[in-house]
């Protein structure tokens, strides 16, 4: 009987465990999670903050006894080391787990900037259910909240806080909002939109120190001092892989994997936000921490763990963000490539942006703000590596014609993602 140990009880870990059970009914499965709650979705926490759901609503599987029925053993613990020769995992409490096959699905952890006072009471990340409970106590209507970070996760948190009726100030080190997802025109438009909704946004600014007082006092790099009842740190995340140091499992930004999601050590796999997988479109490895990637990587890893060959077709690079009602998207290599071309269309009055990046006659990336119809066509063009031919010149003149370019160019070429799928989007 093969023993599969899965480190991480997020979506990747749960999907992998369920997939293994489906194809290997007699195997032993141990799911290790470092939080006391049942496996839950971090992406559901904003809905908890605004009162749309209770804590049980965040759980990945809501049926009582789900894991017990599948004979998935759950262990509460945090991995501290992996011995690839002995095939063991050591937990922080000193316990040891032996494995035949190992899946590393430990996800991400929030970045904690070196700010004086960051560990004071009233300063929190928004990453765990424990964080959410603490935020709910302080983020009452009218409370003064200072948030560090206006990236993708920061904007989702900002949305929930705004709906709670707080007085919100957001500080972002970059020169625009969501700088890792949006170019200057798009990021600037999102900032202006947020300010019109009553959120104060300071870009190009850092929190230099937080002082213990009632209320908290934050000293900013622009010389300003901001009083706050709550400070939220949303300065980004990084793969939670520190426990692999010295293990012999090769890591760069994340745990390096091949197309089967196997690491540099046979029988050890990785999936989800901690995995650095090969992307056929860009020809490089990357960490793309979104749930569709986590789910597909977990499925591929689990199938290979039970001897059913499977291959990851690619790493999806998509982000879709709702910022106080303004929809924005980024697909693929939106920043462009050396020697490539870019075109941008901006309509300030309608709060709309389209930015396209080309490599030859292929669209390799895009940004949009304010578009809710047919944006799946952009994803189809990017992920399908569609040759545009004469339609490239059309898009250079008028980027709003992307749907017509998709219908004309993609349908006769291999790798496109289906007009029916685009219409649904």
The residue ranges of every structural domain in the chain are 3-109+238-306, 123-235, 325-412
Structure-model confidence comparison of residues 273 and 420, the more confident one: 273
What is the fold, at CATH topology level, of the domain defined by 3-109+238-306?
FAD/NAD(P)-binding domain (3.50.50)
Region of poorest pLDDT, from 232-241, 277-286, 289-298, 375-384: 277-286
**Which residues fall within 8 angstroms of residue 144, CB to CB, at 6 or more apart?**
166, 167, 169, 215, 226, 227, 228, 229, 230
**Which residues fall within 8 angstroms of residue 68, CB to CB, at 6 or more apart?**
none
- Answer whether residue 420 shows pLDDT above 50: no
Residue 315: the pLDDT is: 84
Q: What is the pTM of this model?
A: 0.92
**Cβ pair 33, 106 in contact under 8 A:** no
Question: To the nearest whole number, what is the mean pLDDT of the chain?
Answer: 94
What is the fold, at CATH topology level, of the domain defined by 325-412?
Enolase-like; domain 1 (3.30.390)
The CATH superfamily holding the domain 123-235 is FAD/NAD(P)-binding domain (3.50.50.60)
Say if 123-235 and 325-412 have the same CATH topology: no
Residue 424: the pLDDT is: 35
CA distance 349 to 351: 6
DSSP string computed for 162-191: HHTT-EEEEEESSSSSSTTT--HHHHHHHH
Residue 163: the pLDDT is: 95
Q: Give CA torsion, residues 61, 65, 66, 69, to 10 deg.
A: 180
- Answer whether residue 149 shows pLDDT above 70: yes
- pLDDT bin (cut points 50, 70, 90) of residue 326 is very high
């Amino acid at each position: 009987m093969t023993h599969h140990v899965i480190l991480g009880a997020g979506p990747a870990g749960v999907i992998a465990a369920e997939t293994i059970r489906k194809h290997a009914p007699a195997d032993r499965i141990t799911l290790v999670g470092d939080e006391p709650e049942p496996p839950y979705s971090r992406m559901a926490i904003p809905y908890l903050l605004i009162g749309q759901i209770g804590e049980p609503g965040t759980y990945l599987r809501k049926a009582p006894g789900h894991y017990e029925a599948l004979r998935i053993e759950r262990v509460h613990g945090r991995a501290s080391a992996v011995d690839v020769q002995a095939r063991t995992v050591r937990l922080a409490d000193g316990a040891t787990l032996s494995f035949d096959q190992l899946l590393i699905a430990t996800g991400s952890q929030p970045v904690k900037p070196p700010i004086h006072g960051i560990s004071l009471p009233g300063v929190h990340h928004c990453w765990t259910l424990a964080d959410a409970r603490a935020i709910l106590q302080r983020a009452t209507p009218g409370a003064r909240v200072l948030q560090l970070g206006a990236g993708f996760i920061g904007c989702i948190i900002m949305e929930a806080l705004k709906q709670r009726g707080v007085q919100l100030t957001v500080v972002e080190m970059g020169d625009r909002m969501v700088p890792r997802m949006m170019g200057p025109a798009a990021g600037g438009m999102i900032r202006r939109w947020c300010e019109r909704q009553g959120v104060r946004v300071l870009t190009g600014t850092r929190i230099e120190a937080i002082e213990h007082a009632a209320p908290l006092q934050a000293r900013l790099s622009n010389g300003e001092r901001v009083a706050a009842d709550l400070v939220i740190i949303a300065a980004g995340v990084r793969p939670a892989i520190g426990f692999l140091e010295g293990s012999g499992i090769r890591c760069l930004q994340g745990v390096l994997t091949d197309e089967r999601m196997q690491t540099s050590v046979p029988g050890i796999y990785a999936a989800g936000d901690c995995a650095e997988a090969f992307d056929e479109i860009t020809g490089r490895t990357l960490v793309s921490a979104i749930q569709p990637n986590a789910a597909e990587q977990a499925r591929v890893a689990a199938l290979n763990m039970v001897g059913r060959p499977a291959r990851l077709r690619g790493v999806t690079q998509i982000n879709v963000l709702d910022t106080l009602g303004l929809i924005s998207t980024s697909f693929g290599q939106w920043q462009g490539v050396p020697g490539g071309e870019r075109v941008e269309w901006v309509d300030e009055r309608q709060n709309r942006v389209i930015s396209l990046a080309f490599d030859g006659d292929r669209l390799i990336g895009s940004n949009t703000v304010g578009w809710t119809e047919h944006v799946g066509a952009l994803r189809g063009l990017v992920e399908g590596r569609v040759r545009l031919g004469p339609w490239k010149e059309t898009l250079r003149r008028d980027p709003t014609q992307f749907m017509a370019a998709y219908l004309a160019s993609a349908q006769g070429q291999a790798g496109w993602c289906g007009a029916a799928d685009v219409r649904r989007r």
